[in-house]
């Protein structure tokens, strides 16, 4: 079974530039998550999708971050414009069900450096 | 609000037993996960507790006390490859809230 795929693996941009990350979850997984993990901290949930609907985006900085999962499969996360404090690893995860009790499978992450 | 506390760092010797504690205060509780994360890699699932008590899985065990807001992860017969960060995560509502993680160093 293929795991969660993410691209790119690494990205370096200057502040005020835009960047987009892509995630393809495990086939058949209804729920998709985007997390931000700053060095030395645990992952912080940015947004959770159930199929193509948003379940929770309370911690997404909506003035600069956006995410979509149009066909209920893969997803993109965009930052526009980026700030220095956005430097982090962006993890995508998926789970079979609603995620409350289901194991989440994480992708390898995208390491973003904003200079 | 959500508050999940774990020790920042721990060191243990190969072959020994180590216990990593996690205390939490969250608005709502639907279960607790432990994840392992090696440096530069994604978190991988270790255990899930929703009821009080001990869950054993090979060398790893996880304990939960909901009344105390407390969990621990027990690692037995430590191996060098167990050097990693261990993340405690509490399910509250729809969200999985992670602690900052405990960095475990296993020494020869």
Mean pLDDT of B82-105: 92
User: Which residue on chain B is closest to A49 by alpha carbon?
Assistant: B94
How far B79 CA sits from the closest chain A CA (Å)? 23
Please judge whether B31 and A56 are an interchain contact, meaning their C-beta atoms are less than 8 angstroms apart: no
Q: Quick check: B26 pLDDT over 90?
A: no
Chain B contact for A5 (CB, 8 A cutoff) = no
Chain B contact for A53 (CB, 8 A cutoff) = no
Per-residue pLDDT tens digits for A41-94: 999 999 999 988 998 899 999 999 999 998 889 999 999 999 999 999 999 999
Chain B contact for A109 (CB, 8 A cutoff) = yes
Look at residue A70 in the predicted model and tell me its pLDDT: 81
Per-residue pLDDT tens digits for B3-25: 999 999 999 999 999 999 999 99
- What is the 3-class SS of chain B, one letter each residue? CCEEECCCEEEEECCCCEEEEEEEECCCCCCEEEEEECCCCCCEEEEEECCCEEEEECCEEEEEECCCCEEEEEECCCCHHHCEEEEEEEEECCEEEECCCEEEEEEC
Per-residue pLDDT tens digits for B34-93: 999 999 899 999 999 999 999 999 999 999 999 999 999 999 999 999 999 999 999 887
Look at residue A101 in the predicted model and tell me its pLDDT: 59
Per-residue pLDDT tens digits for A4-28: 999 999 999 999 999 999 999 999 9
Q: For residues B72 and B2, which has the higher predicted lDDT (pLDDT)?
A: B72
Please judge whether A42 and B100 are an interchain contact, meaning their C-beta atoms are less than 8 angstroms apart: yes
């Amino acid at each position: 079974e293929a795991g969660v795929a993410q691209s790119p693996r690494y990205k370096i941009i200057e502040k005020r530039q835009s960047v987009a990350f892509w995630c393809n979850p495990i086939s058949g997984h209804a729920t998709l998550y985007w997390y931000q993990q700053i060095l030395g901290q645990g992952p912080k949930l940015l947004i959770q999708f159930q199929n193509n609907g948003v379940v929770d985006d309370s911690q997404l900085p909506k003035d600069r971050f956006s995410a979509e999962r149009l066909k209920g499969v893969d997803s993109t996360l965009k930052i526009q414009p980026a700030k220095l404090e956005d430097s982090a690893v962006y993890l995508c995860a998926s789970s079979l069900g609603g995620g409350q009790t289901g194991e989440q499978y994480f992708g390898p992450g995208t390491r973003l450096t904003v200079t | 609000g959500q508050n999940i506390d774990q020790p920042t760092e721990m060191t243990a010797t190969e072959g020994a037993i180590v216990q990593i504690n996690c205390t939490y205060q969250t608005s709502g509780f639907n279960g607790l996960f432990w994840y392992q994360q090696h440096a530069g890699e994604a978190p991988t699932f270790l255990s899930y507790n929703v009821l009080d008590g001990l869950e054993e899985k090979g060398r790893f065990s996880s304990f939960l006390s909901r009344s105390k807001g407390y969990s621990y992860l027990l690692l037995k017969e430590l191996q060098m490859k167990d050097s990693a960060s261990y993340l405690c995560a509490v399910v509250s509502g729809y969200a999985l809230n992670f602690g900052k993680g405990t960095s475990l160093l296993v020494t020869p």
